[in-house]
Amino acid sequence: MSKELKRVVVTGLGAITPIGNTFDQYWSNLLAGKSGAAPITLFDASEHKTQFACEVKDFSVEDYFDRKEARKLDRNSMFGLISAKEALLHSKLLDYADLDKLRVGVVWGSGIGGMTTFQDEILEYAKTSKPHFNPFFIPKLIPDITPGLISIEYGLHGPNYATVSACASSTNALIDAFHLIQLGKVDAIVCGGSEAGINICGIGGFNSLKALSTRNDNPSAASRPFDSQRDGFVLGEGAGCMIVEEYEHAKKRGATILAEFIGAGMSADAYHITAPHPEGLGAYNVMKNALDDAGIKPSDVDHINMHGTSTPLGDLAESKAIVSLFKEDAYGIQINSTKSMTGHLLGAAGAIEALACIGAVMHNKVPPTINFESPDPEIDPKLNFTFNQAAEKTVNIALSNTFGFGGHNACVVFKKPE
């Protein structure tokens, strides 16, 4: 006998990003059109084709962790713990006297996990040829350690695991959390994603793929989705977290409901390991699946935060998919790519972009797509990409796309609470 699906709401937000170390800072700088790209400081990048990235700024480990604790953590997990703490405080979930921690879980996405830990340990071994590895080597690098650490910190005994689907990882985490609550398995989930891949291997590897912009003379203008002169994405780092909760549970404890999470879609390109389907077939399918799941029509959508990485193939394919699915309704939707400001956070991209969608729902403002100078003749000029300046827009329903290497596509839909 089938059960009625539960309603899912968002009650807390947390972020640490290249343009702000809290959600409020992040949102304010999105609206201001601030670029997070700058020359790399985390390592000497002088021999790399790309010498800039979107690093988290003004970040001091000592401000968040004591020295002994920090030794056990990769930068990736640090970002996850910081964003989760903010989201939990924002939601006031842990203040609820009747909270059943057996029914609160953590689902977290990361495309790579502790990449810097892995790199540094292997480089150290290469220097000495002696296998004297750090005892925390394995726990620091595995992608699933971040949700484990969050659950340990707050005593959360519900479902606890990581999702890995390249750049769709954290959106898949949000989707899993959504489904767990819909099915009545849990009351609340701490969900999101983190990434910290700005290192020798990350920059070098993506350079070898010819995926990164090499605009070293002007980093702040390098991420330019949909512009005819775009030449690749800018690597970013950070984390985003949200508290998703069963509606009646949130109502009972008097929580402030920021948005309703109404639908999710998944699909595969089944085409190429790194390139999107040229006609955006996977993107079309994932958005259609999300709309169907939410029970809404294309005309109901007010805003789309596109995957929009600033790559020649990706931006074009996704734009085609939007026109193909939404048809004439596409031209009334306020579209943007916040990666123009944050860069591409890989597995954490979906989380911070979903937060940006919720910000748009909360405040009826859509952040800009910055750095646009010249149109791409292959992209439909009637699409409203919110170029260079934030827009005032009543946003009742917002949609966020994320796509990953391997052809993984994920899409989530948020609605203004009634």
- Three-state secondary structure string covering 93-124: HHHCCCCCHHHEEEEEECCCCCHHHHHHHHHH
Say what the pLDDT of residue 2 is.
Answer: 63
Tokens 């701490």 appear where? 190
User: Is 74 exposed, middle or buried, given 0-12, 13-18 or 19+ CB atoms closer than 10 A?
Assistant: buried
Structure confidence by residue, pLDDT tens digits, 244-269:
999 999 999 999 999 999 999 999 99
Cβ atoms of residues 340 and 225 within 8 Å: yes
Give the largest Cα separation in the chain, rounded: 64
Say what the pLDDT of residue 1 is.
Answer: 47
Phi, psi values for residue 227, rounded to 5°: -75, 145
Q: List the chain residues with pLDDT less than 50.
A: 1
Q: How many residues does the chain have?
A: 418
What is the helix (H) or strand (E) element at residue 270, kind and residue range?
Answer: none
Question: Which amino acids are annotated catalytic?
Answer: 167, 307, 344
Cβ atoms of residues 145 and 115 within 8 Å: no
Mean residue pLDDT of the chain comes to 97
Say what the pLDDT of residue 230 is.
Answer: 98
CA distance 180 to 199: 35
Structure confidence by residue, pLDDT tens digits, 320-344:
999 999 999 999 999 999 999 999 9
Phi, psi values for residue 42, rounded to 5°: -75, -20
Q: How, if at all, do strands 52-53 and 104-109 pair?
A: unpaired
Taking Cα atoms as reference points, which of 391, 308, 402 lies closest to residue 354?
Answer: 402
Amino acid at 72: K
